[in-house]
């Protein structure tokens, strides 16, 4: 067995425990403290701490001290994508899941480090229809650069060429949106870059429980991209 397979098997063993997987799902939505994970999972503090220790030993989570609190987060986008794909595959009735998702999260939310929900789906749809990107045909399908990418990203104020040099993560893919059945939002390095850019511009704002809202300036700046006619 190669070293890579041994590492992969170790990761798989960590995902085999329902409580650990539950914790990782929350951590892909955003950093959490031990106390938050205890409340979210309904597990005991010693149990949560023990699971976090195992996850950290296997390289799935990392911690950072903020004052008296220790904050945990997943270590990489690759880990987040594995958790997201498992969650999506296990959902079963995606339409039923979308109907039980709270409205703020259905509208817009963070999916690890990229924009999801109805707004995220509309942004991706607009980028495809304006020929900045190719469409995704199936979940996790590779998305390629379209002929109008330079002009579209320039209009958004994003230095597109600066992000083409990234070589440690997939540039773009269709991330299945569990609150918009059968539709995709933009994942990958480019999706993360757009999300960070929108936040920096003040076009979107983070809310509680990973919800995101579009500001008035965001509606004005992104209306051409997110309108139903786009």
Per run of 10 residues, the mean pLDDT along the chain (length 230 residues) is 80 89 83 88 93 93 88 84 72 49 81 90 97 93 94 92 69 86 90 95 89 94 78
**Beta strands 204-206 and 32-33: pairing type?**
unpaired
User: What integer pLDDT is reported at residue 124 of this predicted model?
Assistant: 98
Does the global pTM surpass 0.85?
A: no
Q: Does domain 3-75 have CATH number 1.10.10.10?
A: yes
Q: What pLDDT is attached to residue 99?
A: 43
**pLDDT of res. 223:** 94
Q: Is 113 exposed, middle or buried (0-12, 13-18, 19+ CB in 10 A)?
A: middle
Rg (CA), the chain: 18
Token pair listed for 142: 């590779």
In the chain, CATH 1.10.10.10 covers 3-75
**Phi and psi at residue 157, in whole multiples of 5°?**
80, 20
Nearest to residue 185, comparing CAs of 106, 131, 96? 106
Q: Note the pLDDT of residue 92.
A: 55
């Amino acid at each position: 067995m190669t070293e890579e397979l041994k590492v992969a098997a170790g990761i798989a063993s960590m995902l085999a425990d329902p409580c650990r997987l539950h914790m990782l799902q929350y951590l892909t939505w955003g950093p959490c403290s031990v106390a938050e994970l205890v409340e979210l999972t309904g597990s005991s503090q010693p149990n949560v701490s023990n699971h976090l220790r195992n996850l950290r030993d296997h390289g799935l989570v990392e911690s950072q001290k903020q004052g008296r609190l220790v904050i945990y987060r997943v270590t990489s986008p690759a880990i987040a994508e594995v958790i997201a794909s498992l969650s999506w595959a296990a959902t079963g009735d995606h339409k039923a899941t979308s109907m039980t998702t709270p409205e703020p999260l259905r509208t817009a939310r963070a999916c690890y480090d990229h924009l999801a929900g109805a707004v995220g789906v509309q942004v991706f749809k607009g980028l495809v229809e304006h020929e900045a990107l190719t469409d995704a045909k199936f979940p996790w399908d590779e998305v390629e650069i379209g002929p109008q990418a330079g002009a579209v990203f320039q209009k958004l104020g994003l230095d597109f060429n600066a992000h083409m040099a990234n070589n440690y993560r997939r540039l773009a893919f269709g991330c299945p949106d569990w609150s918009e059945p059968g539709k995709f939002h933009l994942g990958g390095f480019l999706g993360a870059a757009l999300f960070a850019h929108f936040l920096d511009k003040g076009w979107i704002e983070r809310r509680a429980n990973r919800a995101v809202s579009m500001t008035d300036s965001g509606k004005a700046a992104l209306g051409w991209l997110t309108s139903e006619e786009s």
